[in-house]
Amino acid sequence: MSDIDAAAILSTTRVRTVEHHAVIESTNRRAMERLQDEPQLPLLVVADEQTAGRGRGSNAWWSPPGCLMFSLVLARHETSAKLPPYSLCVGLGVRAAIAELLVDQDVKVKWPNDVFVGDRKICGILIELPPGDSGKLVVGVGINVNNSTAQAPLDVASTVATLADLGNRTFSRTVVLTSVLNLVAAEIDGVQDDLQTRWLPHCYLSGRSVAVERGNQLDRGVCEGIDASGALLLNTGSGVVPVSSGTVRIEPA
């Protein structure tokens, strides 16, 4: 029996439509399909198991039973040019929820929105825009909750973390989910506030040497946080360069 309680989600968050699946290929894909029905927003699609989850680009997301996988459809008021701040706000909201559950743990956000505990990834986030300018966002989130790295593939086990492993107990996924939804909503409410200041204390990359790949372009430098638009700031030695998109990797010390 699933521990996802749709009634509790509807009564304690801003979500107005909930769709729960035992098994699904992709919650983001299903959320895109549901938009054709014009559901009442925010719409939440949540699954107990996801068979074709994906991250940025062609990356797959490890999503066994016990993981919390959901997609949230939100209306946005800005144009797609304003998408980066939304992405960062979602990461900050998820980070805050995890930090409340893992007291005294070092929980930070790796630009643009992956959440890390120490040097291990505990949450991946994928934000997509539906076809056309619908004024909506599809926010896909995968959080390692009651799954364990003991069952993870070898190439994954050394790089990820789970709530159950770190907390030495199992968690109610409904409690985790409602906390995430409410804290993400609070961050998005302040999307036009001082995001730069809010981000800096929780920036996983701050002070690290990083490389950002954008197609054929490669930018290298030391991360100095973000600017007011949400772009990553890299000190290249000859100046500070804002980078608005790309794949980030940490350079050897």
Q: Are strands 136-143 and 209-214 parallel, antiparallel or unpaired?
A: unpaired
- pTM: predicted TM-score of the whole model, two decimal places: 0.93
For 101-116, what is each residue's pLDDT tens digit? Answer: 999 999 999 999 999 9
CATH-assigned architecture of domain 6-200: 2-Layer Sandwich (3.30)
Same fold across 6-200 and 205-250: no
| CA–CA distance, 31 with 127 (Å, rounded to integer) | 12
Task: Dump pLDDT digits (tens) for 115-155.
Answer: 999 999 999 999 998 887 678 999 999 999 999 999 888 88
CB 156 within 8 A of CB 124: no
Query: What residue ranges do the domains of the chain occupy?
Result: 6-200, 205-250
Report yes or no: 24 and 52 within 8 Å, Cβ to Cβ: no
Evaluate whether the domain defined by 205-250 bears CATH number 3.40.640.10: no
In 3-state terms, what secondary structure has residue 9?
helix
- β-bridge partners, 60: 54
